[in-house]
Structure 1
């Protein structure tokens, strides 16, 4: 029977268990405040607003920007569905842009052309994701945004703990940066997100709307609302639970260690899989934390993935382009060939397992499986 190497497996240590036990015993510091403070301390951002998921953080970002019906937000066609979804919830319009064929991030040449073609008061900004943990060319992105006076929201779900030119993601110049603690898990052990910004107005509005737009003298340490309160807007229920915050804080305290290990694994993959027939390795253009290790298979990607699964190696696909999704295809009359780079990339990419608690033996097993499948691949 083949070994089983999952695509991702959470790394739970005594740090997480002790943090959760402390919450259950109703002792210790406020984990939610501690989590927000940890992000501010590590990134240098002025403000951190915790949420119950990365998607909630993105939606709260749109709320903070006061997005309205008919407004437009540009995003990469190679994004998770949560990105255009949070735009459509306002009856606003996502505008898709093709991708760079090497790092799979948004194509900034195409981005600027789309800006020129759609520039108006209704064009409010862009949500830009960092695929696999490698940021886009942020210096150029910010220069374009300044030229057209639009806001930039970074979906940094894959880039938590990452850097751009040595500066932490979250304080490099975006108006808002959003993170997720479980970007590629359907059934996560715990769930949390984070919104970072430097602007007082964005921070205050996100904080207000995060919990039903309630204004009050506050809550006590058990979460009980004070006697008198008011509701001043239409809000959401996006605050994170204390247990989720405790788990997230424990994970975040070890983020540098996790990144270092993923980079070690990526280096092994780079060495062992270099020159393997049918396989093209990731292109590293900037700081890369390898939240994903995305390879290309030159033909019959699905057959390659099935053969790996037969050997117990589970893989992922990042991403199916949004213009191929039934809702967006029908809503906006999009055609299969509208985004050539994204289409070709989608037909070839495959994400290999890469997570902090993979052993060297498991990594070597994945490498051997890829080599065996490649040798027999048609």
Structure 2
């Protein structure tokens, strides 16, 4: 009954939100009044800054992480008939990037503790695939919620079975695996996202980082229509400075100077963003203690950037998840579900996938809710979220 005495929040509390300051606005305005709005020096500076952050040699900016995933697949030679594996617990872009290349997609079930692609399940699936001569060309592990996958285990399997690795670190800028920035050691390419709800933002935008110069050159060419001012060696003509040539079929996936300026400004506060998220996570641990839910953890090898805070309701509450979700939304709390398993989407069901194929991911989906987590979330709002959740759960048990 106490549920109905809880006052509604006087403002909407989203599950994630950008943090924009006057310095961010100033940086964008400076770019807006500069000589270049696109294809200027600020994008290059942002690329260098993100590559340095990740400990990689090269950074290639794109207009979204989806675009960066696409060109990474192309640079690694994904084409029709190839196989790409990823996790079902991700946004659809992690799988769609392979479909853009006309490749076959398959999935590997998740670890029930980290909600990431499970190395044990991967090893089992690879052993079967090797017997059937249908190994993947690429595996795309996703650092769900900012928590790194067990990359060394996945890398060792790549050495045994001969597949390439694209780390989808869209959630995980600033995260670390065994003390090293994600993307630094165990993959061919690593992808970051700067969407507004992510840890830091460039409004829209993505970045591919790599230590492979050949892959970097190819991805850079692909995001820029396949056009370069560098001549092919077989061309003996001597044109003027106006010269350019299209060497491959590329795309207009370029990031603008305005986006890069915002990204550079935000990058100065990345450490603060992550520290604040981690502080709020520790408060959630205290505030949610005793509720019939599973809280997200952090493996001993991981330093999570905590893009998301997904809870998992106890099995007894599975049928009441929708009502609990509605109760939170009715009180202006923007809870969300991350994610509906990719293999259950109509498009992928038309490709032959169905419910029941990846039971751990499906069970997780049936019981998860993401609670608000962003740097400007106040303690008062966080406490309101927990009280509302607690009373919604009480009501669900009564029903």
Tell me the TM-score normalised to structure 1 length.
0.93
Greater Cα radius of gyration, structure 1 or 2: 2
Residue pair 1:67, 1:92 contacting (<8 A) in 2 also? yes
1:227 Cα deviation from its structure 2 partner = 2.0
1:172 Cα deviation from its structure 2 partner = 2.8
Q: Equivalent of 2:337, from 311, 317, 321?
A: 317
Whether 1:47 aligns to 2:55 is no
Residue pair 1:23, 1:242 contacting (<8 A) in 2 also? yes
Residue pair 1:52, 1:240 contacting (<8 A) in 2 also? yes
1:351 Cα deviation from its structure 2 partner = 0.4
Distance change in 2, residues 1:144/1:99 (3 Å) = same
Moved more, 188-197 or 169-178: 188-197
Aligned to 1:365: 384
1:135-178: per-residue Cα shift (whole Å, max 9, x none)?
A: 11111111111111211100001101111111111213211000
Distance change in 2, residues 1:322/1:134 (3 Å) = same
Distance change in 2, residues 1:189/1:32 (3 Å) = closer
Aligned to 1:20: 28
Consecutive unaligned residues of structure 2, counting only runs of 5 or more, are 1-6, 232-240
Q: In the aligned structure 1, how far is the partner of 2:391 from the partner of 2:147?
A: 29
Aligned to 1:162: 175
Superposition RMSD in Å = 2.0
1:196-227: per-residue Cα shift (whole Å, max 9, x none)?
A: 00111111111111111112169xxxxxxx62
3-state SS in 1 of match to 2:156:
helix
Q: What is the 5 A alignment of 1:64-143?
A: 64-119=75-130, 120=133, 123-143=136-156
Aligned to 1:221: none
Consecutive unaligned residues of structure 1, counting only runs of 5 or more, are 219-225
Q: In the aligned structure 1, how far is the partner of 2:121 from the partner of 2:196?
A: 26
Q: Equivalent of 1:5, from 9, 13, 36?
A: 13
Runs of 4+ in 1 over 6 A off after TM superposition: none
Residue pair 1:47, 1:203 contacting (<8 A) in 2 also? yes
Q: In the aligned structure 2, how far is the partner of 1:241 from the partner of 1:249?
A: 12
Q: In the aligned structure 2, how far is the partner of 1:90 from the partner of 1:23?
A: 35
Aligned to 1:327: 347
3-state SS in 2 of match to 1:337:
coil
Aligned to 1:294: 310
Q: In the aligned structure 2, how far is the partner of 1:172 from the partner of 1:366?
A: 39
Q: Equivalent of 1:148, from 150, 155, 161?
A: 161
Q: In the aligned structure 2, how far is the partner of 1:58 from the partner of 1:253?
A: 25
1:314 Cα deviation from its structure 2 partner = 1.0
Aligned to 2:358: 339
Q: What is the 5 A alignment of 1:236-275?
A: 236-275=251-290
Whether 1:202 aligns to 2:215 is yes
Q: In the aligned structure 2, how far is the partner of 1:169 from the partner of 1:51?
A: 19
Q: In the aligned structure 1, how far is the partner of 2:65 from the partner of 2:275?
A: 23
Residue pair 1:294, 1:352 contacting (<8 A) in 2 also? yes
Distance change in 2, residues 1:189/1:146 (3 Å) = closer
Residue pair 1:158, 1:183 contacting (<8 A) in 2 also? no
Whether 1:63 aligns to 2:79 is no
Aligned to 1:352: 371
3-state SS in 1 of match to 2:254:
coil
Q: In the aligned structure 2, how far is the partner of 1:45 from the partner of 1:189?
A: 20
Aligned length: 368
